[in-house]
Amino acid sequence: MADEVLNGDPLLATEYPPKGEKEAIDKIIGLLKERLEKDYPPPKRTRRDAHPKQHGLVKAEFTVSDNIAPELKVGLFAKPETYKSWIRLSNLNGGGSPDISKDSRGLAIKLMGVPGTKLLEDELNATTQDFVFMSTDHFVTKDVAGFARLLKAVNGGKLKAILYFATHLKLFKLFTGINIQVSNLFQIPWGSTTPYLYGDRAVKYALIPKQKPTATIPTGDDISDNYLRERMVENLSKGDVYFDFCIQLQVDAKTMPIEDPRVIWDKNKSPFIKVATVKIMKQVFDTPAQQLYGDQLSFTPWHSLPEHRPLGGINRGRKAIYSTMSKFRHKRNNEVSKEPTTWKNFD
């Protein structure tokens, strides 16, 4: 726990930045740039450092519920509205890695047409609000300093990584816990893992699928490397797909900390509450042009209204890390990242 808290109980929805955070963030940025330069020598196209394998970029509608309790009608969720959105689905590991490998999966939503000044100083007038999820309910390190140490070990090659995990068993357990096989990206729950403001409260987010979990992990000798995308294509050729977008309120600052996303907030203490519906419409999405467009977009939890500001050290770090790394890869590709204002058609 951060030094400031040692003298008293932590407060709800309150951040406690530890010493040395800025240095750790700079270190992470340096290590990530190094890795991109190594992995993508020109003329190779530079991909995202994390979540480069894109299963698809799909059109979706995000509809704020009309029956939200009055005290939860906050920010984006103040009134019922439907927002055109893009959703990008990904694997954490690189493009060459087959979907059957144990990995962490990503789902990032970008709502468009959201009024109000946003948080990023160089994108104050953007009309986008992003929500970023992983296929898990916890993160692997408490803070950016821990993440910087992990990254350094992993960047140092297999042997260094094995040694690091062997001497950090709790981290190893958390790491193996988030690296999973999945059967169908539309049939698993998604978690924000890190907390966010919700007005003057703190919440974590979850996306809960409405589809029944009917899919199974493929077996045999001829499993397609891209079966997750192929299943998305098949599902969306047949009909719409739905998720409940839910919040979980922080009700206890000690057992539901802001500064440690390794800790899963207890659902018995504070159950998830639905505040919106995500509808991914029946569509064709897997064209080369749409895939490239998804690769060029930038998602960050800091594309946000102030009412939903990211909280906690990992999220504070993500502010500079995502902006810097997105600009870095766009520059290497001679492209400019621009927030979209509506859907684009590619056929």
d(CA 223, CA 249): 41
Query: Given candidates 111, 126, 132, 185, which one binds ligand HEM under the rule CB under 6 A?
Result: 132
Which of 68/319 has CB closer to ligand HEM? 319
Q: Does 325 bind ligand HEM (CB under 6 A)?
A: yes
Which of 10/301 has CB closer to ligand HEM? 301
User: Smallest distance, Å, CB 54 to ligand HEM?
Assistant: 7
Return the bridge partners of 245, or none: 207, 276
Query: Given candidates 2, 108, 182, 249, which one binds ligand HEM under the rule CB under 6 A?
Result: 108
Q: Does 110 bind ligand HEM (CB under 6 A)?
A: no
Q: Does 304 bind ligand HEM (CB under 6 A)?
A: no
Which of 128/193 has CB closer to ligand HEM? 193
Measured from each CB, the residue nearest to ligand HEM is 106
d(CA 127, CA 110): 10
Q: Does 298 bind ligand HEM (CB under 6 A)?
A: yes
Question: Which x/- pattern over 39-68 shows residues binding ligand HEM (rule: CB under 6 A)?
Answer: ---------xxxx-----------------
- The residue ranges that bind ligand HEM (CB under 6 A) are 28, 32, 48-51, 88, 90, 106, 108, 132-134, 139, 144, 147, 192-194, 298-299, 314, 317-318, 321-322, 325-326, 329
